[in-house]
Structures are given as structure tokens and as C-alpha cells.
Structure 1
Amino acid sequence: MLENIFLIYLYTYVFVQKGKDVLLEKPVTLDEQTDLFWRVNSSNNIAKCVFNKDPFVYNKYAGKAELFGPNCSLKLKNVQHSDSGDYTALVVSQQEQRVAEYKVIVQVTPVDLTVDPVSKTSDSCNLTVTCSTVDFNISSSFRCDGKICSHAEEKDLKATKEFSSLSVYLQQDTIFCNHSNQVSWNQTTKVLKSYFVFSVGLIIMVIAVISVHIMEKIKK
């Protein structure tokens, strides 16, 4: 599913995945006395249509926007996160009239999962796990010993922002980071015990080096 459209208040909300194209339609046909402008965020002109003339796209949006069809519908190509905004079609004659309003929300699929050791001992390791997207993130703390890993805080963590959600949970020794929105679902995992094993191995190595150093001094 590349896009999902439904009505909320006065806008038509359009959710589109980053990198895809999206079509914004206009339900009005022009005549000799009317021109049409497409704008984003009230003030930035994207393109205009004049009766019986070729559609015109402003330089800033050349190659990114396209007008076509008898109604001069607007096509946005290869949308990026920064293209999210309020898109309006205005018919200009004796008065200015809004004939279509879209709130475009470009949603990003990738989710990043990072694990940062906070403190280490010979038999345990405390970790902070962060699950993040370009919009927001959530963090939780975990503790691993030689046998198991467990939550140091609440067991499951979930957050929602602007039609997107993140969740973090632990299953055995694996941490799961789930990200879902209106156009996609994505999951990233990491094994927490691998961080503990590295910590213990490093400590053993340091102890071994110190022991060798002490033995050499005793021999002297």
C-alpha cells in the first residue's frame, strides 16, 4: 500500500511513503475567466493553469511537480519528508476560491535501533536501548547477566506521534523495535546478550594482562 486517503475536518489527509509519487486531484474545470494555482503552506506557489494554455510549474518545483489532465491535477514526484505540508488548489477569477485542500504527510519506513552500555561489571551489564525514526524516539533500560536479560523499567514501551507509533519489547535475550504508520510496518532486532558477552570478555582479557604483568614483576 503506497498511500492511504481519508477525510478529517476540512482537509483530505494523504499519507504517502517517502520516495513515492502522489496525485492531488482538483474537481473543477477551468474556463476563460478563471486561472488555477496550486500552493503549499498558504504562500508558496507550485504551479498554475490558465485556460487553453500549457500548464506552468515554478522553477523551485521544476522536475518535482507536474500538472496534467483537464482539471490540472497536481502530481508530486519522489516525495521526501520535507514535502509534508498543506497543499491547496485555488481558482482565481473575480474572487479567490479554494477548491481542494490536502494535508500531505510523507512517512518514513526505516527505524533505527541502538544499544548503549551504561555500566559493566564482571557478571552483569546495564544497557540503554533507543528505538527511533526521523520524527521521534523512545528509550528503555535493560540489565543482562550471564543467564538472562530483563527490563530495568516498565516491561513494554510504546509511543505514538502524528499517525506513527514505536514500540520496544524484550523476548528472551532479543530486543524488538517496531515502527508502524499509515503506509508501512518495520521491525528491527538486536541480541542484548552479545553486548554482555563482549563486556565480560573484555574484563577477562584485562585481568589476564594484569596477571601476566604481576607475574613478570615477581620473577624479577
Structure 2
Amino acid sequence: MQLYTRAASSCSFRIRIALGVKKLPWEAVLVDVAMQQGEKYRDLNPQALVPFLVDGKAKIGQTLAILEYLEEAYSDAPRLLPGDILARARVRAIASFVVADIQPLQNTGLDDYFEKEGVNHFAWKQHWISYRFEGLEKMLHPLQGRYSHGDNVTMADCCLIPQVWNAINRYSIDMSKYPAIKAVYENCIKEAAFANAAPDKQPDFTG
């Protein structure tokens, strides 16, 4: 199994976590900007994004699709979704909220545009990430255990922790305002699957 990944990509961070949680062996293929823009990578992955998973005949982009694939293809490994249908829906809702409504606000691709327009992108991102965290805090409050949903790591945690890592390390968000999110983050990051997947633990990390 190969994962096309980059340290700075929070989306790649999600899949590195999931592979660690499920204890699956994998090989990292490091994708820099030049490779990502090259024809060879586009032939393999027409979206030309990271992460991209290659597992035998399976060639999959987009993190939620990759997470669902890993859950179904490796059902004997530790699960990323709970057994109850309503619990699975809640986990997916949290994951989707992070993927669709929080991560795009942190996308570094916005920075060049904002600079051209004379917008303070750092302050803009701080404002909107904080705003979305207010909603996420309320989502996490019911049924909260050690993690986003109860006391087992789920797909929601795989998606949440990279964005909190960015919020803390790149955007100086005061996490004391979000005690539920902060508690989940602190519990997760103690686990090897999360700590080892962090950007600063990757060979291509540049700070």
C-alpha cells in the first residue's frame, strides 16, 4: 500500500492517522509541489491532489473516500466507525463538517490570492476558523468521551486533529475557548497513531 502524501497537507495527515489506528503497513511517497504539478502524477491522479492511496488495484483520492475504503477493505483492523447506525451518522457528520467547512478555511492556496487583494489572510483565517470551532464545540459536547464520539477513536478524530494542529501551530487559535475540542485533541495526540502522523514527524517537514 502506498500513500502519496506531504507533511504540510492536513488532508494527508488524516490518512496517516487512519493507517496508524488500523495498524496497516504502508509506504510513503512524498509529493512536493513540482511533482504534484507534473504530468506523471496527473496521469496517476487526475485531481493532482494529496493524499492519494494506491492499494493493489484500488487508486483513491479524497480523504473521506479513502477513510471509507480503509474501513470496508480492512474490516478486521480496528474500526473507524461505531456499530450503531445513529452513532455512525454522528461520526460522519463531524468528519464532514471538518472536511467541508473548516479545512478549506485553512487552505494555504488562499494566501496568495488574499495577498494580491491586500487582505490580511492570517486575521481572516483566525476569525473564520474560530467561528467554525464554535459550532464544532457544540457538536462534540453531547455523548463526548475521550474522543469525538465516546472512548474509541473514529473517523471524526482522524479529520479533526489535523485541523486543530493547524489552528494551534499555524494560526495561534486560543483553544481554551473550546474545552471539548481541546480535550479531544489532547487525548488523541498522546496516541502513537496521531503523534507519529503529525507534520513535524514527517521527513519532508519544513516548519
TM-score in terms of structure 1 length: 0.21
Q: Specify the structure having the higher radius of gyration (Cα).
A: 1
More helix by percentage: 2
More strand by percentage: 1
